[in-house]
Amino acid sequence: MKAKKRYRIAIEDESRLRQVASVSVSPAMLWTGGIIFGLLLIIFTALLIMATPVRTLLPGYLKRGERTEAKEGLLRIDSIREAYRINNLYLSNILTVLNTDRTPTDSILNVTSPNELPPDSLLPASPREIEFISKMKDREQYNVTILAPLAADQLRIYPVADGATISEHSQSATKPRILTPKAAPICAVADGRILAIQNPAPEGGSAIVIQHDNGFASRYSHLGTPAVSPGTHVDGGSVIAHGASGGAIGSGFFFMEMWYDGNPVEPGKYLEL
Q: Tell me the average pLDDT across 107-135.
A: 65
Helix and strand numbers (H, E) in the chain are 4, 12
Q: Is a pLDDT exceeding 50 seen at residue 148?
A: no
Cα angle: 17, vertex 18, 19; to 5 degrees:
135
Residue 243 has a pLDDT of 79
Cis peptide before 118 (omega within 30 of 0): no
pLDDT at 174 over 70: yes
82 pLDDT exceeds 70? yes
Between strands 206-212 and 263-265, the pairing is unpaired
Residues 66, 72, 74, 76: what is their CA dihedral angle, to the nearest 10 degrees?
A: -140
Local confidence band at 106 (pLDDT 50, 70, 90 cut-offs): low
216-226 and 251-260: which strand pairing?
antiparallel
Which residues make beta-bridge pairs with 5? none
Give CA–CA dist 77/80, Å, rounded.
5
Confidence band (pLDDT; 50, 70, 90) for 94? confident
Higher confidence at residue 148 or residue 73? 73
Q: Which of 136-150, 159-173, 182-196 has the lowest mean pLDDT?
A: 136-150
Model confidence at 60: pLDDT above 90: no
pLDDT at 14: 80
Q: Tell which wins on pLDDT, 45 or 273.
A: 45
**Residue 59 CA to its chain's centroid (Å):** 44
Looking at mean pLDDT, say which of 65-69, 93-97, 108-112, 195-199 comes out highest: 195-199
Distance (Å) of CA 250 to CA 69, 167, 170, 183, 184: 81, 16, 21, 9, 10
Among 53-57, 110-114, 256-260, which stretch is predicted with the lowest mean pLDDT? 110-114
pLDDT of res. 256: 93
Q: What is the pLDDT of residues 219-230, one digit of tens each?
A: 999 998 899 999
CA dist list (Å): 15 to 8, 10, 12, 19, 38: 21, 15, 9, 11, 37
Q: In 104-143, where does DSSP find H-type helix?
A: 127-140
